[in-house]
Structures are given as C-alpha cells and as structure tokens.
Amino acid sequence: MYSMIIADDDVATCERIRNFLIKNFEELDNIWIATNGLEAFSLYEQHHPNIVLTDIAMPLCDGLELTEKLHQSGYTPKIVIISAHRNFNYAQNALRLGVEDYLSKPILPAKLKELISKLIDSLNKNKQFLLNINNLMDKHQKNLPVLRERFFYSLINECFEEERIMERARMVDIDLNGAAYTTAVIRVEAGAVINTKHNFVDILSDYIAEVSDILFPNDIKIFNIVINSTDIVLIAVYSDSNLTAFFRIMNTVLSKMVQSIGKYSFSIYAALGKQYHSVIGIRDSYKEAMKALNCGQQANHIGKIINYEETLPSQKIEFKVNNALETNLLQSVKYKNYDQYVKLIDQLVDKMMPYRSTKFNHIKTYLLELSVIIFWELQKCTDLNTGFEVNFNSLLQSEAFEQSIDWFKDYISRVIEIYKNQNEEKGNALVNKGKHIIQSNLHNPDFSIDDVASELYISSNYFRQIFKQQTNESFVEYLTRMRMQKAISLLINSEAKIQDIAELTGFSNQRYFSVCFKNHYGYTPSEVRKNFLNDLDLPNIDDKQIIK
C-alpha cells in the first residue's frame, strides 16, 4: 500500500482529486491534503508518503520551493507538479528539480489516472527491486562464513595480484588493509578430541578467535581458518611496516597462546612464516610456516614456536618414500633427530630379517636407494668439499646381510656428523651476528635478548641456547662483560664524566652503574680512573679486558 499528499490552496480541487484517487486506486490507503507548501512539508515529515502532488502557486511556500525543500532534507518522494500556468519555464524548472511529471490545469481525469498508474507501477518495480536486493543480501550474509572460508583458502593456496586480493576481500567483508603480513599455523596432533562429539580443532579455533582480541595488540588484525582436521591457519595483518617488531610480537603472543592450549594436555605444534610488506606475501608465508611446522613436528618440538628462519638448511630436503618406517628413518636424518636414527635402523633391520637369505640382493638394492637419496639431499644443503667420500660399491659387494647393515649404519653415522657440523657452523654465524648487534646496542638501557633474536628472525629461546653453547656464557653475562669493558676503556682513554660513561654503557642510573662496575672489577669507576692516571697497577684488571 502507498500514500500521498495533495498540496493546493484550492481546497475544493484537493477534495475532488482525493475522491477520484480513492475511487480508482485501492493501492492508495492514505491521502492527506495541504493548502500550502509549509503545511505539506510538515505532513511529509510526519507520514513520509510515497507521492506528492503539488500546485506551483501557493502561499507561504510554492510547489517548486516545496520540491527543493524536500530534496535538500534528503527526502525522495515521487513529485508531480500541477499548475494553471502554461509557461515552459515552470516546467523546465520543475524538471531541473527532479520532479516525475508536470500536469496542467484543468486536470483531466484520464490524464491523472494514467499518471498515477505510471507512478504506482514505478513504485511496485522499485519495491520488488529492493525486495530482490534484500533477498540477495540475506543469502549473502547466510553464505558469508562459507564465502570467507573459500576466500582464505584460495588466498593461501593460489596466486593473485594484490588488487584482485583486496577486491575479493571487500566482497566478503574482510579488511586486509595493512603495512605488513604474516602467517602462522597451529597443529593439533591427530585424534585430539574433547569428547566423542566434537573435534578439538574446531573448539580450538573458537578459542583462538576469543583470545586473539585479548592477546594481540590493537594494531594487529587476526583471521583464523580451519583448513583440515588438524591445522588452524592464523593470518596476521599489522598496521606498522616494522617487520622486526611484527616478528617479535607474533612470537611472544603465539608462545603465550600455545602454552595456554598445552595446559589441556594436547600435543600442539606451531610455526611462523616470514613477514612481508605486501598482502601477496601471505601465500609464501603460509608455505614457509607449513614447512617449518612439518620440520618441528618431526623433531618433536611440542608446545614451541618454530620459525621458518630456524629451519632453512633443512627445508630443501623432500624425501619421497611410502613406507612409514622408512620415512621416519630418512626424516630423523633430515631433521637431525640424532637420538632416533639408531633405533629406527634397528627396526628396519628387524623388518628385513625374514628375507635376509632369500631376498639379500633386493635388500642391498633397497639400502643403496635409501643411501643415494640421503646423499643427494645432503649435497643440496651442505658443502661436501670436505673429503666426504662414499664407496657405494662396498655395499653392493658385501656378501653377508650383517656386513651390508654395518656399512649402512656407518654411512648414516657419517651423514649425521656432517649435519651436526653444519649446525655448529650455523650457530657460529648466528652468534657472530648476535655479538655485532650487541656491540651496536651497548648504550641502550632497554636492550635485551629479544632485540637480538628479532633482528636475526629467530626465537629468543633458540638464540639463548646456541649462544650459551658457542660462548659458554649466558647472554646477560656477555652483555655485562662487554659493557664493563667499554666502561673501563672510556674511564682510561677519555675524559668523559662517570655519569656520561654510565649512559654510554646502557645504565640510566650512575649509582647502579658504580655498583655493577665494582661487582665486576672489585673497584669503583673513580678508583680505576685515579689509579690509572697515577700509573698504578690494579689487580684483577688485565689490559686485555680494556677495549682500545
């Protein structure tokens, strides 16, 4: 049903038109009459009718002024102008103001009926159009979870241009605007359930959605997607372009999240891909996180965050074997799980024992294939110009089952040793880079191991471990020693004030600096400076400790 206003200072004319319309149009359930433009505008604000039929010449506010006033107020009824004037300028001004039509007096009933029928038909079409739009919007809202799931799945698996990604994101009401992007994957060990009805990964996804708003800062948006029965993908969008800060925040929050999940006695694995400045990098970051996750799971890193950068030397290796036992053996070498490979070889031997006589040549060929695969992968990620030689003929020429097994065990042991050496070299490189970062930040009172790890794109725990292994010092011990060496060098080789030296070595409080200095050397800064100025030796202070 529709309604309308008839505005004319001739009340009799208004009544005739009203009676005619009520008789001929059952769609019009309410028709109000106004004698001037102001009264008509007041009625419109009260009832918001669909049609306004207004005379041009009225007191206080004419028809054209009423039309303009309605449009300026944001109202959009269908307006028809009626007038006794046949001046073309009136019609031209009316059309300029956006009226639907123009009627001249005297109004012919047939003409009025034709015009109102056209307006009602237009209203019906608009109504149906809006109804269709609403139905489409309702369907879109109902399907939105599925559409978003499809969008995220294609985002991490397919390659799109940035413009296309952002366009598709807007279509499913996803805001991916940001300055940096990364992806993490959390994996629940297969079979983890809360009860017989619910898979734990679904409940975990809901939990992550709830705690993300609490754990993550406001400048990071998190989207989590369940991609299979064990894996949840977290896509993070950071408003800042600082990738180092982004890496640190993600590691810190993910560690807290994994620790809280681990309290429920489920085996949780988590990995973080690299950080990128473009939304296109989400796909690469996901692939990196999956590679790191698989590496971490094979190495049994339960409840820890595995960063892609920490597993780079191993990521080039892809073994393709079918048997689970063989796979575990090859991956124990690949992922440097040194404690497992001997046990797995023994299990493999047990499996071959029944065929050691009847299928001995097949066994040798089988061991040769495994050995060659390992050798190829070793070549991909290590420098073999170190005298490593393999005589595969010795395996083929072996005449006894035990002899071939001994050869294989010895071979695997040598491969493991090379991987170990490579790990030590990698550790040395990281520690050396870390030392350089430390030297550049001795003045920073807020400097910590997190800053070093972030610049190296590894976790703090991992750097703490390899630093201790390589230097036999903890990070804090080394940092303190370097600061003390810089302090004593400045005391001896410069005229800087002790307060300034304290600040240059990362101490904001001179008193605390003096206490630390005395604990380290057994003398106060003033005593050291005074004795060196007087060419007096100080026990416990070696020239090697002084940074020149």
Pairing of strands 231-238, 220-226: antiparallel
Are the CB atoms for 394 and 407 separated by under 8 Å?
Answer: yes
Decide if pLDDT at 401 tops 50: yes
- What's residue 147's pLDDT? 83
* pLDDT band for position 422 (cuts 50, 70, 90): low
- What's residue 257's pLDDT? 85
Q: What is the mean pLDDT of residues 436-456?
A: 91
- What's residue 308's pLDDT? 80
* pLDDT band for position 198 (cuts 50, 70, 90): low
- What's residue 372's pLDDT? 80
- Residue 27, C-beta contacts closer than 8 angstroms, at least 6 positions apart: 1, 2, 120
Pairing of strands 180-188, 268-272: antiparallel
Euclidean distance between CA atoms 457 and 250, whole angstroms: 11
CA 208 to chain CA centroid, nearest Å:
13
The residue whose two tokens read 């056209």 is 118
- What's residue 180's pLDDT? 94
Running DSSP on this structure, what letter comes out for residue 199?
A: B
Are the CB atoms for 81 and 99 separated by under 8 Å?
Answer: yes
Are the CB atoms for 57 and 83 separated by under 8 Å?
Answer: yes
- Residue 400, C-beta contacts closer than 8 angstroms, at least 6 positions apart: none
- Kindly report, residue by residue over 160-185, the tens digit of the pLDDT: 889 999 998 988 889 999 999 999 99
- The share of the chain scoring above pLDDT 90, in percent, equals 19
Q: What is the mean pLDDT of residues 500-513?
A: 92
Are the CB atoms for 442 and 483 separated by under 8 Å?
Answer: yes
Tell me which of 87-91, 297-301, 302-306, 369-373 is least confident.
87-91
* pLDDT band for position 258 (cuts 50, 70, 90): confident
Examine residue 106 and say whether the peptide bond preceding it is cis (omega within 30 degrees of 0). Answer: yes
Are the CB atoms for 67 and 97 separated by under 8 Å?
Answer: yes
- What's residue 504's pLDDT? 93
Decide if pLDDT at 363 tops 60: yes
Q: What is the mean pLDDT of the chain?
A: 80
N-terminal to C-terminal alpha carbon distance within the chain: 94
199 closest CA partner among 172, 176, 166, 226: 226
Q: What is the mean pLDDT of residues 261-265?
A: 66
* pLDDT band for position 193 (cuts 50, 70, 90): very low
Tell me which of 61-65, 265-269, 361-365 is least confident.
265-269
